Amino acid sequence: MGSTERSILERLKTNCAAVDGSGSYNYDFSASGAVILGSEPTGVAPRAPGVYIYPVSVQSSRQKGRTPLNSYSRVFVVQMDVWVPRTAGTAENAMLSALNAQSDIMRALENDPTCNNLAHDVEIDASAYDGEAIQVPGYGVAALRVSVEFTEKRGE
C-alpha cells in the first residue's frame, strides 16, 4: 500500500484525465499520456494539450481543537502545469486559451474536493499566461498550485 500522498496524486491525475472536451469543457485531456505525473522534460516541447503534475511539499502540523489526538493535519501542495496550443498567433490568444484550460482543470478538481474521500478539501491558486513569456512560444500555459488538506493517523 502506498502513502496517502501517492493516492492523492493518482486521484488528481484521474480527475484531470476525466476532462474530455465534452459538455462545458474546452479541452480534451483524456487521451493516453495527456496527463503525466512528473515535470516537463527539459529541451523537449511539452505535450499540448497536456497536464504535468508533481509534488511540491507536505506540511504536517497539529491544530488545537481541530486535529484528533492520534492524528496530524497535513497540507500537500501539488504543482500542475497545463499546456495548450495557441489557436492564433497572438499573446492574447495564448493567454485566453490557457485560461480556458485552467478553468477546465479547476472544475474537474473542485468537482471532487475530497479526492475520493482521501482529503478534506482542495484549494487552488492559478495563473495563466503566454508561453512566449517563458521562451516557449506557440503555447498557452496555466500554472496551478493545488493545496490538498487531509488528516494522517499517527504511526500508520
Q: Cell digits for 139?
A: 503555447
Mean per-residue pLDDT for 41-60?
Answer: 89
- For each of the domains in the chain, give its residue range(s) and CATH number, in order of start: 4-153 (3.30.2000.10)
Q: Determine what percent of the chain falls in helix, strand and coil, rounding each to the nearest 5.
A: 25, 35, 40
Per DSSP, the three-state class of 85 is strand
User: What is the per-residue pLDDT across 86-140, written as a single tens digit (0 to 9) for each?
Assistant: 877 788 889 999 999 999 999 999 999 999 999 999 999 999 999 888 888 889 9
Q: Rounded to an integer, what distance in angstroms lies between the CA atom of residue 112 and that of residue 55?
A: 19
Give percent of the chain above pLDDT 90: 69
